Amino acid sequence: MPKYLLRFGALGYLSLLLLVPVGFVFYRAFEHGLGPAWDAVSSQQAVHALELTLLMAAIAVPANTIFGVILALALVRSRFPGRGLVNAIVDLPLALSPVVVGLALFLLYGRGGWLGGLADHGIKILFAVPGMVLATMFVSLPFVVREVVPVLREIGTEQEQAAETLGASPFQTFWRITLPAIRWAVAYGVVLTTARAIGEFGAVSVVSGKIQGRTETLPLYVQAQFEQFDIQGAYAASVILALIAVATVVGLRVIHPREEES
């Protein structure tokens, strides 16, 4: 009896909190058929927002993947004072308010900030794509590192040392030994990074200035449409983002068993 109570309690909680609300947005978006939903997401403003969102991800994800692997290597394979603090700093984007991230960038690159002078030289960071990319990179930084660190720790260095003894260069050792061992962890991290990069709202909201048709990403577009009482448009754009989220979850499911195996 308690078994069923627990099962239905847990499933009920999940349904009321997650499934029914998300399902309801799909229903609302397509309530009046495919036509209005399609019209809402094929407007010039919506298409631009989607393109900009994908651009953010296209820059932030490769950067955080490459540097994430390097960060993981540095954290696992070397000892240096203050590693505990570096660990906490790498995790900070998971725990820090996105608004604080946005504000920090705003103060650094804004008028009177340390790097505020860049704007006078024609390098526009705030209210432009570079600032939004920096915000996205900040919030999506930890995912690849966090997936790769435990795997690196587990595989140890014996094989790498063997390769070195046999005359392999550090680059060859990484490419032939280390990378194949961590590839599924990297893949898992990449999927999580992509989801976060596409969905980021708070940090991008602060640094973008939310200029319609210029610096508006899809999550910002959702809020803008909602506030302009274009609920249909907000729901339709949400459905696109929700579909990306579902694809993410499926991707994680596909990768996870392989990660466990290797």
Partner 1 sequence: MASNAAVLERPTGAVSGRAGGALARGVAAGYLTIVVLLPLAALIWSSRADGADAFWHQATRPEAVSALKLSLGVSAVCALINAVAGTAIAWVLVRDRFAGKSAVDAVIDLPFALPTIVAGLTLLALYGPGSPFGVDVAFTRVGLLLALLFVTLPFVVRAVQPVLLELDTEMEEAAASLGAGSLAIFRRIVFPNLLPAILSGVALAFARAVGEFGAVVLISGNIPFKTEVSSVYIFGQLQSGNGSGAAAVSVVLLAISLGVLLLIGAFRRWRTKHDYA
At closest approach, how far in Å is the CB of 234 from partner 1? 6
Residue in this structure with the two tokens 């009920």, named with its chain if needed? 12
| Minimum separation from the CB atom of position 212 to partner 1 (A) | 16
Question: Which one of 41, 132, 152, 182 is in contact with partner 1 (CB under 8 A)?
Answer: 152
Look at the chain and count its residues: 262
Residue 242 makes contact with partner 1 by CB under 8 A: yes
| Contact by Cβ (8 Å): 90, 74 | no
Q: Which is nearer to partner 1, 43 or 252 (CB)?
A: 252
Write the interaction track for partner 1 spanning residues 113-142; mark x where CB under 8 A is met and - where it is not.
xxx------------------x--xx--xx
The footprint of partner 1 on residues 33-62 (CB under 8 A) is none
Total residues interacting with partner 1, rule: CB under 8 A: 108
115: its two tokens: 């790097």
Q: Which of 80, 81, 166, 167 binds partner 1 (CB under 8 A)?
A: 80
**Nearest one of 178, 214, 164 to 77, comparing CA atoms:** 178
Report the half-sphere exposure of 176 (CA within 13 A, side-chain side). Answer: 14
User: Pick from 47, 58, 89, 123: which binds partner 1 (CB under 8 A)?
Assistant: 89
- Which range, of 36-44, 153-161, 179-187, touches partner 1 by CB under 8 A? 153-161
Chain centroid offset of residue 216 CA = 17
CA distance 253 to 247: 10
Instruction: Report the residue from 10, 58, 179, 211 that binds partner 1 according to the rule CB under 8 A.
Output: 10
Query: Could you tell me where the DSSP H helices lie in the chain?
Result: 2-14, 20-29, 34-41, 44-77, 83-95, 98-109, 129-139, 142-155, 158-165, 170-173, 179-199, 202-208, 218-227, 231-261
Contact set for partner 1, span 213-232 (CB under 8 A): 218-220, 222-223, 226
